Structures are given as structure tokens and as C-alpha cells.
């Protein structure tokens, strides 16, 4: 039963375009390999790479002059390089990355037949070419897996501890889980991503459409929940299984992710768990410092009124002291005026007393003179 189910899962997993969308041709002047449907580009190389399974896969390497990252793209189950060519060129331009795409065994002009184990050998051969042929380092490589491509992507990512990042585009939990909502992994299942995602040590971005009818969005959400280093996911509202690249948010979010993971780990702001880890392990300015800074600024703002109040208090105190001094002066002046008034009153009373005495003396003199005159008059008449 397990073998039958595994065979069914494999048949549902692989739909190579038939016929292939391109042929391999050699340039007449240079002898370089080209895809028959596209003109030669100076920055695009077409390769044929041997695998450990004995097949030969076709690879496509796009060089960007400003790139610091290399994107290794594993496409979906019903596409080949001829159909992905233009998207790959656009991604390289917009993300400023070198990009390596390839066809699985049995796809396009790659030899052999598609199978789970062949795809593992295929991606290993392409990764080896990046390291040995183009000098790419593990720390500079971003693995990108779309749909069934999430299988070889996570299988390789689980064995490479120093990758720059992983992108999962409409990923699957496992082949069997696309058909049946099983709760555990069976030995005969294929692409058991649900078990491998927990072994990935680099930042993981998950992109999934909410209206995906081929692989339900719950697959992407569960893989994101299980990842160690989460980056903010992109759940594209109304997005289907094969149209996410047409949503404007797709390229914006992907570009933001690439720019983030290209920074040193201490400067990254990836997912919630990643930020939490960075805050705990790294002393440079993080959200905690920002909180402290905001708190300090807030305290400063609260202290300003207090400073103003202190000045007002000082001014009031100063004014109060000045007023007291003035009142004291006025009081002293009032006392002085009172003393002057008392003195004037005393002088006035003395003057009146003198006037009274003088008036009495004058009247006494006048009376005596009058008596003397009358006495003289009597003597004369006598």
C-alpha cells in the first residue's frame, strides 16, 4: 500500500512540460550553449551539469555586476527553464543577485526521469557548480524553492548550516499531505518538508497565496510556524498557486528580505523570533535601547514643565522677597511719617500754647494800659 501511495504522490508531484518549451543550440560564433527561444545575453550562461545519479541537468546562470548574493532557484512541478527564463532575468535585475536556475532530471533538456531522489542529486550538482565554478560561498547563497521545488530546497538547506537564507514559495508540507490531511509522517511519503524545516538554521521567508487550490495556504503557514528563524511571511490575499509573481507585493517583499539578509546578523530585522534572539544576544542598539531612549525622551519631556515650575517658583520667591523689602521700606517710611506727624503736632501744640500765652499777655497789657489811661483822665477832669 505504501509503495502504491508513494508512486501516486510521485506522479502527482511531477508534470514536466511536454514537449519542452526550448531546445539547446550552440552559438555559431562562440560555440556557447543557448536556449533556442532566446537571443544570447552577455550575462547569461547555459550549462550542462552531471549528477551523482548519472543524469545531466541543464542550468542557467545569470550574473549581476552589483550582486553580493546568489539565488539558487528550484522551480515548480509544471515548468521548465524556457518558461522561467524571463522571470529569472527580472528577478536578477530587481533583487541585484546572481541567479542559478535549473531543470530537474526529466524536465526540459535534462536527461533521465523525474523522481524525489533525482531532484536531490540535481540540486547538489547545481550547488557544487556554484561553489566550484563561480566561487560562491555558502554564506552568500539563498535557496529558493517553489511548490515541489521546496522539497530539494529544504533537503539541501537542512544539510548546510551557514546558508544566507531560504525562500519557500507556495511550499508543501509533504507529497502525501497535499492529497490527504495526515497527522504524522510515513516512511513512504515524499518531500517530508515538515520534518526538515526544523533543521534549517538560517532566516526563512514563506510566500503563499490565500486562494491556492493546489497546495492549501495552511502548508505555508505551518512551515513558517515550524521554522527556527522566521522572517515576516507574505500571505498574498487572493493569490493562486501559479500567479504570485504578478502581485506587486511579491517583488517588494522579496527585495526587502534580500536586503535584510545581506546585512550582518547583528543588523538584521527578520521575523519575530529572529528579533527576539537578536535582542537577547546582541548589545548594539535594539528595540530595548529604543524603548529606553523613548522612555528617556519621555522623561525629558515630563521634566521640562518641572523645570519651568522651578523657575516660576524662584521668580515668585524673588518677587515675594522684593515685595517684602518694599513693604518693609514703606512701613519704615510710614513710621517715619508718623514720627514726623507727631513732631509736627507737638510743634503745632507748642505754637498754639505760645500764641495763647502771648494773647493773654497782650490782653493783660492792654487792660492795664486802659486802666492807666482812665485813671489819668479822671485826674485831669478833677
352 CB-near residues (< 8 Å, 6+ apart):
none
Rg of the chain taking only CA atoms, in angstroms:
51
Catalytic residue among 75, 241, 253, 278: 241
Do residues 46 and 57 make contact, with C-beta atoms less than 8 angstroms apart? no
**CA 168 to each of CA 227, 304, 349: distance values in angstroms, whole numbers, following the listed order:** 11, 52, 117
Catalytic residue among 189, 212, 216, 278: 212
Could you confirm whether 212 is annotated as catalytic?
Answer: yes
Grid cell for residue 166: 531560504
Do residues 60 and 72 make contact, with C-beta atoms less than 8 angstroms apart? no
Do residues 106 and 112 make contact, with C-beta atoms less than 8 angstroms apart? yes
How far apart are the C-alpha atoms of 207 and 210, rounded to whole Å?
A: 10
Could you confirm whether 94 is annotated as catalytic?
Answer: no
Catalytic residue among 147, 150, 174, 227: 147
Q: What share of the chain is helix, strand, coil (3-state, %, to 5)?
A: 55, 15, 30
Q: Does an H or E element contain 45, and which?
A: strand 44-50
Could you confirm whether 118 is annotated as catalytic?
Answer: no
| DSSP label of 104 | P
How far apart are the C-alpha atoms of 356 and 364, rounded to whole Å?
A: 12
Phi, psi of 33 (to 5 degrees): -75, 140
Question: Both ends of the chain: CA-CA distance in Å?
Answer: 189
Do residues 152 and 172 make contact, with C-beta atoms less than 8 angstroms apart? no
How far apart are the C-alpha atoms of 41 and 29, rounded to whole Å?
A: 14
Buried b (16+ CB within 10 A) or exposed e, 158-167: bebeebbbbb
* Residue positions annotated with a catalytic role: 147, 212, 241
Amino acid at each position: 500500500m505504501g509503495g502504491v501511495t508513494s508512486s501516486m504522490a510521485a506522479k502527482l508531484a511531477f508534470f514536466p512540460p511536454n514537449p519542452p518549451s526550448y531546445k539547446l543550440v550552440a552559438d555559431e560564433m562562440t560555440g556557447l550553449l543557448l536556449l533556442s527561444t532566446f537571443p544570447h545575453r552577455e550575462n547569461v550562461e547555459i550549462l550542462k551539469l552531471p549528477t551523482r545519479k548519472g543524469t545531466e541537468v541543464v542550468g542557467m546562470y545569470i550574473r549581476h555586476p552589483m550582486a553580493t548574493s546568489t539565488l539558487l532557484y528550484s522551480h515548480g512541478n509544471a515548468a521548465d527553464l524556457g518558461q522561467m527564463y524571463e522571470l529569472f532575468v527580472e528577478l536578477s535585475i530587481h533583487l541585484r543577485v546572481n541567479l542559478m536556475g535549473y531543470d530537474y532530471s526529466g524536465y526540459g533538456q535534462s536527461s533521465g526521469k523525474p523522481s524525489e531522489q533525482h531532484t536531490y542529486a540535481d540540486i547538489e550538482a547545481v550547488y557544487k557548480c556554484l561553489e566550484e565554478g563561480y566561487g560562491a560561498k555558502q554564506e552568500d547563497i539563498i535557496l529558493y524553492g517553489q511548490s515541489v521545488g521546496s522539497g530539494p530546497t529544504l533537503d539541501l538547506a537542512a544539510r548546510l548550516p551557514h546558508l544566507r537564507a531560504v525562500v519557500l514559495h507556495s511550499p508543501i508540507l509533504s507529497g502525501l499531505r497535499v492529497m490527504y490531511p495526515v497527522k504524522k509522517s510515513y516512511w513512504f511519503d515524499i518531500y517530508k518538508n515538515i520534518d526538515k524545516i526544523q533543521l534549517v538554521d538560517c532566516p526563512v521567508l514563506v510566500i503563499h497565496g490565500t486562494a491556492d487550490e493546489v497546495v492549501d495556504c495552511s502548508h505555508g503557514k505551518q512551515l513558517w510556524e515550524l521554522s527556527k528563524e522566521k522572517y515576516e511571511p507574505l500571505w498574498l490575499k487572493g493569490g493562486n498557486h501559479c500567479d504570485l509573481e504578478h502581485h506587486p507585493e511579491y517583488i517588494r517583499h522579496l527585495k526587502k528580505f534580500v536586503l535584510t539578509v545581506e546585512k550582518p546578523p547583528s543588523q538584521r530585522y527578520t521575523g519575530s523570533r529572529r528579533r527576539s534572539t537578536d535582542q537577547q544576544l546582541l548589545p548594539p542598539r535594539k528595540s530595548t535601547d529604543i524603548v529606553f531612549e523613548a522612555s528617556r525622551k519621555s522623561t525629558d519631556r515630563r521634566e521640562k514643565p518641572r523645570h519651568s515650575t522651578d523657575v516660576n517658583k524662584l521668580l515668585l520667591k524673588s518677587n515675594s522677597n522684593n515685595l517684602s523689602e518694599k513693604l518693609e521700606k514703606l512701613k519704615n517710611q510710614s513710621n517715619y511719617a508718623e514720627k514726623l506727624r507727631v513732631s509736627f503736632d507737638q510743634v503745632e501744640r507748642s505754637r498754639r500754647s505760645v500764641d495763647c500765652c502771648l494773647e493773654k499777655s497782650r490782653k493783660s497789657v492792654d487792660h492795664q494800659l486802659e486802666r492807666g489811661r482812665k485813671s489819668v483822665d479822671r485826674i485831669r477832669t478833677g
